[in-house]
Amino acid sequence: MRLLILSLFALTLSACAPAAVQKQRYFWPIGTAEPHIEYVGFFQSDRDIRQAGANAFSEAVLGRELPDFLFERPQEVASDGGRRVFVSDVAGNKVVVLDLEKHRIRELKDQEGNTKFFKFPSGLSVGDGGRLYAVDSADDVIYLFGADEVVIREIGRGHLTRPTGIAVDSKHDRLYVTDTGEHRLAVFDGEGTFLRYLGQRGTGDGEYNFPLDVEVDGDGNIFVLDALNARVQVLDPEGRFLRSFGERGTASGSFQIPKGIAVSPSGQVYVTDSMANHFVIFDREGNYLLSVGGRFDATQGDVAPGGLNQPGGIDVDENDTIWIADAYNRMIHQFQYLNEKYLSEHPILPGETYFPPGFMPEAPAGK
């Protein structure tokens, strides 16, 4: 009899329990049967780190209390693919480390163990063994940090004028820096010995007008974000011009104010367009594929998946995870390219595809 009563009590509780909430997932292209990009989450406050990125979407989309912002103005972002994400905060004059595995927040350190302060922290790139290269644009230097996040040495002093972006090519033992003030690339070896410059100011092939960022693909080809020429230039590993793509405008595949570039392991090229409040995706040949995002102000507590406010740096790690520094929303966004491995671990089930009402991303004009 006692077992029967307990069983009936359990059945009553289960009958009264609310139905399980359908998981809500956000994909691009919107409303198509073949999604390619998923919005995963955001990091805006220490609470988001403690929750390991499992932001309460229902709370965030509908609005939440004004967060204690983790960043003042995030500029660049880089992931080591192993659950550490580095963020340069130009208003905070430091580089913040998001340890998503240990749910902790740290800052890069000087050799005395104190927070390493920068004049204007900019480009970031992760090299072999978890070492980090961090650009100080106002001090015209690069700092190399060990896997312990402590500075090892300076690189490039006396060779750079307002450097911004940086890329490591471990395969060819090269380090590329956009020497923005001189409208060229500076090339170093992996240990920081200066080798040569590539390019000069101009509009021709291999010439630049305020290049802001640089990336290297798996073959060692160099992708330079030639910002004020509103294009991407591609060089071979020897620095010879191969091709360019992009143009200024609002049509698909065009740029208004491009800020950051990344090349993924799957072969896509990602470019953030700050003024358009989205990022643009190409294949490695420069063919336009997709634009993701739209303008949204998330500083009052509510968050829209894909909503950006002057995005800057972008990085794609070895897992095809996309990280974006959203400067004026004071947050980092995490997207995911839907490769086979990810889809096998996170299959899209019926009814999961969702897009919050009241927010539609800005669509570029058709050509």
Which amino acid belongs to residue 315? D
Q: What does residue 96 show for φ and ψ, rounded to 5 degrees?
A: -95, 140
For 342, the token pair is 């990810």
Residue 96 DSSP code:
E
Question: Quick check: 121 and 136 in contact, CB under 8 A?
Answer: yes
Rounded CA separation 31/169 (Å): 38
Strand partners, 115: 109
β-sheet with 211-216: strand ranges across? 211-216, 222-226, 231-235, 241-245
Q: Residues 6 or more apart from 19 whose CB is under 8 A from it? A: none
List C-alpha distances in Å: 202 to 159, 206, 208, 211.
20, 8, 5, 11
Give the residue from 135, 134, 129 showing the smallest Cα distance to 148. 129
Q: Residues 6 or more apart from 99 whose CB is under 8 A from it? A: 49, 83, 84, 105, 106
Three-class SS of residue 122? strand
Query: What is the number of other CB atoms lying within 10 angstroms of the CB of residue 83?
Result: 15
| Local confidence pLDDT in tens for the 367 residues of the chain | 333 333 322 333 344 444 444 678 899 998 777 899 999 999 998 888 877 554 445 455 545 677 788 999 999 999 999 889 999 999 999 999 999 999 999 999 999 999 999 999 999 999 999 999 999 999 999 999 999 999 999 999 999 999 999 999 999 999 999 999 999 999 999 889 999 999 999 999 999 999 999 999 999 999 999 999 999 999 999 999 999 999 999 999 999 999 999 999 999 999 999 999 999 999 999 999 999 999 999 877 788 888 999 999 999 999 999 999 999 999 999 999 999 999 999 999 988 887 655 455 444 443 3
Three-class SS of residue 257? coil
Question: Quick check: 135 and 165 in contact, CB under 8 A?
Answer: yes
What pLDDT shows up at residue 3?
35
Q: Residues 6 or more apart from 106 whose CB is under 8 A from it? A: 96, 97, 99, 149
Rounded CA separation 313/291 (Å): 16
Give the residue from 46, 223, 75 showing the smallest Cα distance to 137. 75
β-sheet with 307-308: strand ranges across? 258-263, 268-273, 278-283, 288-295, 307-308
Q: Residue 349: exposed, middle, or buried by beta-carbon count in 10 A (0-12, 13-18, 19+)?
A: exposed
Q: Helices in the chain by DSSP H: which ranges?
A: 2-16, 46-50, 57-62, 340-345
What pLDDT shows up at residue 17?
42
What pLDDT shows up at residue 302?
80
Question: Quick check: 248 and 230 in contact, CB under 8 A?
Answer: yes
Q: What does residue 267 show for φ and ψ, rounded to 5 degrees?
A: 100, 10
Provide the whole-model pTM.
0.89
What pLDDT shows up at residue 59?
54
